[in-house]
Structure 1
């Protein structure tokens, strides 16, 4: 068994079944799937039984009520038999050539840790496409999230993150982080001397959240988690991580000066930036509506991440520890 695909789950039966359905289309045949489920009252596992015993991949379902995400991934790794562990999120749809792309890359390149980008599927809603754009565009934070090669060391993310079994075991797997645990693991692996690689062809279709409110909560936690990572690994805080907070302050400032004709011009840079977001998203998605929605999701993303970062920083300053995420 070459690849073990390990997925933490917590409810959301429709997206989990869609994820497992997509894996039935894989052209690669040397892989297993391990679902590590923490759904209360064990309501998800019965709905997944139809996938047990399928002809494409062996499926193992590990269950423990209210299992945290890091523990779920670690428990899945203990069960796994593969040479490589690949950690994925349950709200992803996996293209049929995904594992073939990974195997082809590993045959030609030396990599201990690897990951791929995320993208929006043609069938996604306008909101999902807009969120995908905001989370992956080079105009937002996409340059540090792994859509394309960029300056600096690449850190694979938990929605699409693979590694050699021996590397995972050498650093004792995931920590107790409840958010940002994937980045923290990547940092420890790189510090231990393991080589990381971005496999651009090994993308997944990432659904993410299904409402603006849920999206805000998600990116708020991402921003707060970045402070926890910074406190544990001080060298890992970059200027790019402060961009959402700076953007939020600049947007507030721009809104305040707009009513005053004499200084209204100070809001021009922000208006130009949002116009660029609109035009770029419209062209990429071939949709005027997605372009408009991308303005909203980009603002929400920056505000959520920036506020989460600032609030957790203040919590650290006052209490000497991070917020509970």
Structure 2
């Protein structure tokens, strides 16, 4: 049996898979120990022709299976059903690897005996300033509290499907990912915790996450994460913490302050001044943190923008989900479906 099956769900992302494989050729790990298993979720961009004609320059073991379009969760489940490895590792198609990635995972598994694990995502130095700014807002404590793969965070670490692994017995015992439109990996991680498995963060096993996005797509993505948080909390109440409610509290607080100012303009003006000073300090902190992290002025200037988008999109998404589930009594809240990736329907993953 192979030790690792690296499972990549693909939907119209042939260009990204080429970059993924280019970085995989440089992985510092014995080739006979792992495979890349691509699960094509009904692509129409020539992926099958590409992967079946791919010739590895370093003897990578690659194979692919194909299914009708059923979404990333079922694609990953299909991958687990067909994987040959002792461990299953999920990565997104828009990721690239540093050479030490798999070796670091292997070393930590030998040391700590994790049954489920994950690593962070970060930026490669070649990424655009916008991608660096988005990565800053998604990984900084100002943006997420450090919950996305940081050594110190305000909450429990949940492995996520852009860089997540499990022992095959986990899948055999608790099954695969569910059919949630968003947050499938978070639900899966919570079920793993609930089953009593040993879960760990492998901090140095990071991937370079090359998100194909714009500011508008980023807004829709984060909005849907806010929606997903309420759906997740309905299934797992422990997954809704104060830190997740903070963006919604910011939105409601600003609305309340605006209404208050209409009736009490003097005191309202004083409170707006205090709010403005706090806001300016946060913006300056984001700007300087991003600049010292990436040494890129454009990325630093974009970081306060992406941070604002992250906070307000998440807050609005969470509030919409609360309205749908608590007031309208829907079983599952729904965010952006059409136009989620800027088109009329989901065209790539």
Q: Structure 2-normalised TM-score?
A: 0.87
- State which drifts further: 139-148 or 305-314: 139-148
For 2:18 and 2:297, the matched residues in 1 are separated by 31
1:109-148 paired onto structure 2 within 5 Å: 109-148=112-151
For 2:241 and 2:117, the matched residues in 1 are separated by 21
Cα deviation for residue 151 of structure 1 reads 4.8
Shift in CA distance, 145/252, structure 1 to aligned 2, threshold 3 Å? farther
Superimposed CA distance per residue, residues 197-231 of structure 1 (whole angstroms, 9 cap, x where no aligned partner): 00111000111232111111111111111111000
For 2:254 and 2:209, the matched residues in 1 are separated by 28
1:247-266 paired onto structure 2 within 5 Å: 247-250=250-253, 262-266=270-274
1:246-325 paired onto structure 2 within 5 Å: 246-250=249-253, 262-267=270-275, 268-317=277-326, 318-324=328-334
> Any conservation in 1 of the 2:12–2:44 contact (CA below 8 Å)?
no
Secondary structure class of the residue paired with 1:21:
helix
For 1:191 and 1:73, the matched residues in 2 are separated by 21
Match of 1:61 among 61, 64, 67: 64
Q: Kindly report the root-mean-square deviation, in angstroms, between the aligned alpha carbons of the 2 structures.
A: 2.2
- State which drifts further: 42-51 or 86-95: 42-51
For 1:292 and 1:252, the matched residues in 2 are separated by 27
Secondary structure class of the residue paired with 1:162:
strand
Shift in CA distance, 255/281, structure 1 to aligned 2, threshold 3 Å? farther
**How many aligned residue pairs are there?**
325
Shift in CA distance, 302/277, structure 1 to aligned 2, threshold 3 Å? same
2:342 is matched with none
Q: Structure 1-normalised TM-score?
A: 0.93
Shift in CA distance, 62/13, structure 1 to aligned 2, threshold 3 Å? same
1:1-325 paired onto structure 2 within 5 Å: 1-29=2-30, 30-41=33-44, 43-51=46-54, 55-250=58-253, 262-267=270-275, 268-317=277-326, 318-324=328-334
For 2:214 and 2:184, the matched residues in 1 are separated by 24
Secondary structure class of the residue paired with 1:35:
strand
Unaligned runs of 5+ in 2: 338-349
> Any conservation in 2 of the 1:41–1:65 contact (CA below 8 Å)?
no
